[in-house]
Structure 1
Amino acid sequence: MKNFIAEIKERKLRKWLAIYVSTAVTTIGVVHLLSIRFQFPNYIFDIVFFTLLFGLGTGFIISWYHGKEGKQKIKKLEIVLHAFIIAALGVVLFYRVGSDTKVKGDLEKNIVAVLPFTNFNDNKENEFFADGITDDILTQLSKISDLKVISRTSVMKYKNTDLNISEISQELGAGTILEGSVRTYGDKIRIVGQLIDAKNDVHIWSQTYDRELEDVFKIQSEIAERIAAALQANLLPMEKELIKNKNTDNIEAYTFFLKGKDHYYNYTKEENEKAITFFKKALEVDSNYALALAGLADAYGQKVKKYWESEEWHDSSLVLSKKALRINPNLPEAYKALASSYDGLGETELALANYKKAIELNPNYWSAILNYGQIKMFAGNYDEAFYWIRRAHTLAPDDVMGNLSVSLIYKYLNCDSLAIIWAERALSLEPQHTYALSYIGDVYLNNLQIDKAENYFNKSIAVDSNWIYGWYFGGRLQAVAGNYKKSKERFDKYLKISGSPPEYFYAHTLLALGENDSAASILKQEAEDYLSYFDGEPNFSNFDYIAFAEINAILNKTDLAFKWWNEAIKNSYTDIKRIKVYPYFDNIKSDPRYNNYLKAMHAKVDSFKTIIKDDYQEYAICD
């Protein structure tokens, strides 16, 4: 040991290594600072870092073999050791840097992310105006079918971010980034825009617009056209016309509209009411402002869809949407609002037709695309739904409901592990999202993981003690667990909050508790309601059929239960695990037809999987 220490001193190893480490640390620091300042690609820093790291080994070898005074010959072992270190460095750079550049290389230039424009006004109360300009430019670009434009939902989180362009582009999967700034002063406006190729961090196009404030609409159209030209995107005549179309000449009305949108996007009941107020103010200034009419219609629809208010608001939404379309027949926002109202009123075909029209006018209208896919999904058209829902997710990768929709379709295809992965991804985006918490609990319940399901029920109720769906899920959860007393308590809470009449799942719990008369009364009413419902317009979901099958199974009407179960299978009801786990079919499980029907459901699922595997090979699907 003493000889080894003496050798180290004689060869001056500590001196050489100290000099090397000091120089390397300084070099890494300088490169890091330059990378931040000039937004160098990540792989440049990685190359420098790993080269210097492995260079420590070569420095040790050189000082060991050549640290003594006098000349030393180069030995074969020295060459072998250097070669080994260089080879190891090459492998690390290949997998570390190579994969990094490959990700960037795979980014398509026609996938565009419009980052929130910076508000350069001293008055921060005008932040909504910069956000509105960002949103409008994004919307204009979305109308170009040759481009894929990342949604507002996904880009707004990068407001005031410390991430560089390279990191943002990789997170969003966008090959091109548009960033800029807005400043208003008096009746003047300055908008600066710059388009960046995310693969090499090079500016493709930049422009500063100093104009009158009333020219803001022309500026937005010009920016969209310049970007299309810079990316060599094919701009169809109809798209050019749509981009140049402005819905108002009145800046005051436009400002009120932007304030309305700013509140709308906060997605709470209170903020939705503020949005309605500002949309109305915009219409007071310009009664023919079609976009404000569409915004008001959409906000009215949200009162029902998100905030559980009276369905009469759908009627108001229909009136306003149709008025907006009379003023501007090519307004995608109006078609989307109209479709949403038709969907809420059960007019599925009209909803699909209007969503399709909205998508034709704005091929990147991710929320319309998602809603269209959801209707297809709930109708049992899982192959079509899979395409539309995954397309929406590409445009809005950070939307909670978009991720949950991907999870739900995997659940219907009996891909439970993928369903859980996507549900967890949705929850990571918004950990306090009540529906996400209840939904993932439902997925675990389908797999009889009672403790995990109960955990997510508790989390959802902790966030909102009046969460209607949470109590409904909690009641079903305890029924599956066989704890009918607790099931009744939770169903009672659900019925009290929702004001809904009791349904068959509640009746089943009452039967288990020996409250036969009350249960019989509920089941009799349910059976009459469903028969009346099926005698009406043929516009039902596949769950309606399975629900009526379960009612008949509880009533021990075995043949009718199988009849309606068969109808559910014909209409692509595929939730096999729910059939097995829930107690509503317990009375018919001993019938030989039970297993045959399960086999028919498996065959239906397999047929959808085959189509998806053939048509959408880029997406994962379970066996």
Structure 2
Amino acid sequence: MPTKVGSLRMIGQTLGHYRILEKVGSGGMGVVYRARDEQLERDVALKVLPSGTLSNDASRRHFRNEALALAKLNHPNIETVYEFDTQDGTDFLVMEYVPGKTLADHLIGGALPEKEVIALGMQIAAALAEAHEHGIVHRDLKPANIALTEKGQAKVLDFGLAKLLRPRDETTADNLSSTQGAAGTLPYMSPEQLRGEQVDARSDIYTIGAVLYEMATYRRAFGEPLASRLIDTILHEPPVTPRALNRRISPGLERIILKCLDKDPEQRYQSAKELVVDLRRLGEPASSRTASPALTPKDHSKAARSASYFVAGSLALVVLILGLNVGGWHDRLMLHPRSSQIRSLAVLPLENRSHDPEQEYFADGMTDEMITELARVSALKVISRTSVMRFKNTDKPLPEIAKSLKVDAVVEGSVQRVGDRVKISARLIHARNDQELWAHSYERDLSNLLGLQHEVAQAIAGSIEVTLKPDEQAGLQRADSVDPGAHEAYLKGLYYWNKRTPEGLQKALQYFQQAIEKDPKYAPAYAGLSNTYAFAPELGLPSAVAKEKQKAAALKAVQLDDTLPEAHTSLGGALEDDWDWSGAESEYKRSIALNPNYATARHWYSVLLSVLGHHEEALAQARRALDLDPLSLVIQAKLGGRYLYARRYDEASQECQKAIEMDSGFALAHDCLGFAHLQKGRSDAAVAEFSTALNLSHGDPQSISALGYAYAISGKANEAAAISTQLENSSESKYLPAYFIAIVEAGRGRKDEAITWLERAYENRSAQLPDAKTEPMLDSLRSDPRFRNLIRKMGLPSELPTR
């Protein structure tokens, strides 16, 4: 085969009467050029065979005879072979030039719609059937050997060349070359071909099954990266069923694919014609698959005629109802839901199609940003990230997922990053009947990524026929610009921030700062930075230092982009830590106005309202947050907390129990249930819950404090005293909120000590101290003037109306 330099030198040269114009491809069977046939004035594909392939005149004669047999194939889906020739020791094959792209190129955009899989599958199978009738087996069928014309017609390339160029030693598992390894021919080879057995047309049937599988799922039937492991799986293991990878595949197409891929040739289709028939049947409308027998009216009785009149009348009525869509019956009977019926949706995690685990942050980030864009539409309920991420890599059916999330529709898709280009494929699916309502693929430069996200969100909103407010329309059409490097760093920061681990938060901090360095005017990076500083203990930062940085970053984010909901929520949290209650409330309200679907804003606002004593409003916001993020453990447990502060303990127990049912290993939920048990006089049950929470949280001070309080009110004075001493000793060597020690002292009946610790918490501006306003465990201190004064110093009147 010509080397890279040699390939370049061929450009402009002439072989026979073919002038070489450009190189279009290369592989183990040679280098392919586009050339000009100067006699017939047409472009041809000229394949220069690897040097030494045909070592003597006898082998050339054999090759020429076989090439002539290939030239007799005349089929619209087979690349035509024109001639074989030799010039100055260079052997070349002249074939039809097929402009366009290969199926492998086409599949970069993701799995194909079933209609396209069937249409292309029929064409490829028809090409195989034609060749098999002439005794020619392809032996090397794969997406790279299937060209797609500009009109979408399939052309199978390189028929029979695998045998011609390897006539003496068939490719087997024992002599695979590097070019036929896990990334090349091997994934498409039949088991009998790998074993070195005699192959026939049924080997091609297996291979087309592998190609159909990849078209339908965007994954190879066997995708092991190591050749040895790949060979073993092809020989001995069944493939993952296609519908487990792509829920849009019909059972009929899955059956056809798996029949092709049967390891036993006797169990596959015995001819490509049989496969064409089944694919054609699958692609036909259901009404045309069977024909009704002709009626012979001369034998009909009067009763039969009456029955036929009744049926005809009934059919006419049904047609009228369907045609007029009376009461929406056309949509119900035909299972075609109107897109205007969709008022809630979930964006499922986009699949990372880059085949690179290091790009997982990018796929998750694209999911986050698509959720954020759609969530701005006030007429839609859009489920938050926490809940949808629970369905990452799941094989649950879409209707089941939609039922869990309580939505009408779901958006699913994939993202693939190739160099400086990004490809996004998305589909909108109605949940009730798993019907696709809209689908599209996009490809853009990374520099235009934000514009792409706006475009996708606008297309989805348009397909749902939802009415956009002028500001929402403007938001989806705005032309944001950001340094691509800054945006990439931001996505990485978001990815690690969502892990909520000390290591993850440290990395998030680094990436958000990196994003700001690359683009100092990128508001989302400042919002991310602010949210990260909210986790001061995990970052190992003094609380006062972290709060100052949190507020500064939030203010900068709002200054740069006053329309960014995340920025206002971050600022609201910072102002709440400053005990600027009215300022915090204004920011939360502004965030919710900008993004009514932002569950975090509603959740944080509910906590503030609870602190202020506005319990009904707090519960309304908390319930709405849970509606938007139904699988969030934190929001579910905190809803129980809002009921606790509203002194509605039965409902608090129910909500906390729901969180435990979602995840029995979630410590906060056990703390929540323990608090409810305490207020209902079930101190032993409370001790059990707090002990569980303590074990799960590995010594969280809140769980220790709650357990100490429970011991105290249940008469276990020694145990309560031991916990009080433990907390005090810990506070001398590291920061520990004084508020938690005050809780235990209040339970022990030591009011003076409890007040002293609360005053210390005030001096340290403890984040937990505002809870004292409504905390049931501090009820014994409410009549103390020092306690009421402490509440007033935080800007909270000691008595607030509930609303």
TM-score in terms of structure 2 length: 0.53
| Bigger proportion of residues as strand | 2
- Give the Cα separation in 1 of the matches to 2:608 and 2:534: 16
Identity percentage over the alignment? 26
| Equivalent residues in 2 for 1:543-622, closer than 5 Å | 543=773, 550-551=780-781, 570-571=799-800
Structure 1 pair 445/524, CA: closer, same or farther in 2 (3 Å)? closer
Change (3 A) 1:38 1:378: farther
Task: Answer 1 or 2: higher relative contact order, Cα 8 Å, separation at least 6.
Answer: 1
* Structure 1 position 332 matched with structure 2 position 565: yes
Q: 1:462 to 1:472 in 2, by over 3 A?
A: same
Question: Which of residues 707, 710, 725 is equivalent to 1:477?
Answer: 710
TM-superposed deviation, 1:466: 2.5
Larger Rg: 2
Q: CA deviation at 1:211?
A: 2.2
Q: Within 5 Å, which residues of 2 pair with 1:193-272?
A: 193-245=426-478, 248-272=481-505
1:38 lines up with 2:271 in the alignment: no
Counterpart residue type for residue 543 of structure 1: K
1:313 matches 2:542: no
> Is the 1:508–1:554 contact (alpha carbons within 8 Å) kept by the matching residues of 2?
no
- Please tell me the residue identity of whatever aligns with 1:190: K
Within 2, Cα distance between the matches of 1:221 and 1:271? 29
Q: Compute the displacement of 1:522 (Å).
A: 3.0
C-alpha separation in 1, matches of 2:782 and 2:342: 56
**Where in structure 2 are the equivalents of 1:392-411 lying within 5 Å?**
392-411=625-644
SS in 2 for 1:472: helix
Displacement of 1:256 in angstroms is 0.7
| Distance of 1:127 and 1:203 partners within structure 2 | 26
CA distance in 2 between counterparts of 1:306 and 1:448 reads: 38
Residue 445 of structure 1 is matched in structure 2 by 678
Output the amino acid matched with 1:196.
I
Partner of 1:522: 753
Q: What amino acid does structure 2 have at the position aligned with 1:550?
A: S
Amino acid at match of 1:404: A
Aligned to 1:121: 354
Hey, what's the Cα distance between the residues in 2 that align with 1:531 and 1:350?
A: 20
Name the aligned partner's letter for residue 425 of structure 2. V
- Structure 1 unaligned spans of 5+: 1-30, 41-101, 512-518, 534-538, 561-566, 573-603, 609-623
2:719 is aligned with what amino acid? K
Instruction: Say whether the 8 Å CA contact 1:434–1:463 is kept in structure 2.
Output: yes
Closer, same or farther: CA 346–180 of 1 in aligned 2, 3 Å: same
| Contact 1:248-1:286 within 8 A present in 2 as well | no
User: Given residue 662 of structure 2, which amino acid in structure 1 is its aligned partner?
Assistant: L
Q: For residues 72-151 of structure 1, what are the structure 2 equivalents within 5 Å?
A: 109-151=342-384
- Counterpart CA distance in 2 for 1:122 and 1:389 is 39
Q: Deviations over 1:385-438 (max 9, x none)?
A: 121111111100111121122222333444433322211211233333222222
Distance 1:237 1:276 in 2: 36
SS in 1 for 2:535: helix
Aligned residue number for residue 58 of structure 2: none
Structure in which a larger fraction of residues adopt helix: 1
Give the C-alpha shift of residue 108 in structure 1. Answer: 6.0
- State the alpha-carbon separation in 2 of the partners of residues 282 and 327 from structure 1: 14
From the superposition, tell whether residues 253 and 482 of structure 1 become closer, same or farther in structure 2 (CA, over 3 Å): same
Residue 527 of structure 1: how far off its partner (Å): 9.1
Q: 1:495 to 1:531 in 2, by over 3 A?
A: closer
Q: CA deviation at 1:506?
A: 4.8
Shift of 1:372: 0.9
Equivalent residue for 1:615?
A: none
Counterparts in 2 of 1:258 and 1:505: CA distance versus 1, 3 Å: closer
The whole-number CA distance in structure 1 between the counterparts of 2:534 and 2:759 is: 30
- Is residue 602–residue 625 contact of structure 2 (8 Å, CA) maintained in 1? yes
Report the 3-state secondary structure (helix = DSSP H, G, I; strand = E; otherwise coil) of the residue aligned with 1:363.
coil
Instruction: Tell me the C-alpha RMSD between the 2 structures.
Output: 3.7
Tell whether 2:395 aligns with 1:162. yes
* Distance apart, 1:380 and its partner CA: 1.5
Please say if 1:284 is aligned against 2:514: no
Counterpart amino acid of 1:219? L
Structure 2: unaligned runs, 5 residues or longer: 1-242, 253-334, 790-795
Q: Distance in 2 between matches of 1:495 and 1:276?
A: 32
What is the identity, as a one-letter code, of the residue corresponding to 2:534? Answer: G
Distance in 2 (CA, whole Å) between partners of 1:39 and 1:172 is: 25
Q: Which residue of 1 aligns with 2:83?
A: none
Contact map agreement 1:434 1:467 (CA 8 A) in 2: no
Q: CA deviation at 1:336?
A: 0.8
Q: Take 1:123 and 1:545, find their aligned partners in 2: how far apart are those partners?
A: 49
Is the CA contact (8 Å cut-off) linking 2:712 and 2:744 kept in structure 1?
no
| Shift of residue 135, structure 1, vs aligned partner | 0.8
Question: In 2, Cα distance between the equivalents of 1:249 and 1:372?
Answer: 30
Report the counterpart of residue 374 of structure 1 in structure 2. Answer: 607
Q: Which secondary structure does the structure 1 equivalent of 2:694 belong to?
A: helix
CA distance in 1, matches of 2:245, 2:365: 34
What one-letter code is carried by the residue in structure 2 that aligns with 1:159? K
1:429 maps onto 2:658 in alignment: no
Q: Is the 8 A contact 2:588 2:601 kept in 1?
A: yes
Counterpart of 1:172 in structure 2 is 405
1:460 Cα deviation after fit: 1.7
Q: Deviations over 1:181-238 (max 9, x none)?
A: 1111122221101111112222111111122222222221111111111111111221
Judged with a 3 Å threshold, the aligned counterparts in structure 2 of structure 1 residues 406 and 267 are, in CA distance, closer, same or farther, namely same
Cα contact 1:471–1:493 (8 A) shared by 2: no
Q: Determine the C-alpha separation between the residues in 2 that align with 1:168 and 1:39.
A: 19
- Identify if the C-alpha distance between structure 1 residues 33 and 299 changes in structure 2 by more than 3 Å, giving closer, same or farther: closer
Q: Note the C-alpha offset of 1:493.
A: 2.1
Q: For 1:341, which of 574, 586, 608 is the aligned residue?
A: 574
- Structure 1 residues 179 and 286: alpha-carbon distance in aligned structure 2, compared to 1, 3 A threshold: same
Q: Residue 33 and residue 520 in structure 1: after superposition, are their counterparts in 2 closer, same or farther (change >3 A)?
A: closer
Task: Please give the alpha-carbon distance, in whole angstroms, between the structure 2 residues aligned to 1:314 and 1:32.
Answer: 47
**How far 1:455 moved relative to its partner?**
1.5
Residues 388/525 of structure 1: CA separation in 2 closer, same or farther (3 Å cut): closer
Query: What secondary structure is seen at the aligned counterpart in 1 of 2:543?
Result: coil
| Contact 1:120–1:183, Cα closer than 8 Å, also in 2 | yes
Deviation at 1:269, TM superposition (A): 2.3
SS of the residue corresponding to residue 311 of structure 1 reads helix
Please, what TM-score do these two structures have when normalized by structure 1? Answer: 0.67
Give the Å deviation of 1:257. Answer: 0.5
Q: Please give the alpha-carbon distance, in whole angstroms, between the structure 2 residues aligned to 1:210 and 1:32.
A: 26
Q: Does the 8 Å contact 2:705/2:743 carry over to 1?
A: no
Compared with structure 1, are the counterparts of its residues 269 and 330 closer, same or farther at alpha carbon in structure 2 (3 Å cutoff)? same
The 8 Å contact of residues 738 and 760 in structure 2, kept in 1 or not, is answered as: no
Partner of 1:363: 596
Question: How far apart, CA to CA, are the structure 1 residues paired with 2:575 and 2:244?
Answer: 55
Distance across 2 between alignment mates of 1:420 and 1:310: 32
Is the Cα contact below 8 Å between 1:304 and 1:311 reproduced in 2? no
Residues 484 and 509 of structure 1 are in contact (CA less than 8 Å); yes or no, is this contact kept in structure 2? no
Give distance in 1, aligned partners of 2:759 and 2:546.
28
Q: Secondary structure at the match of 2:442?
A: strand
Aligned residue identity for 1:446? Q
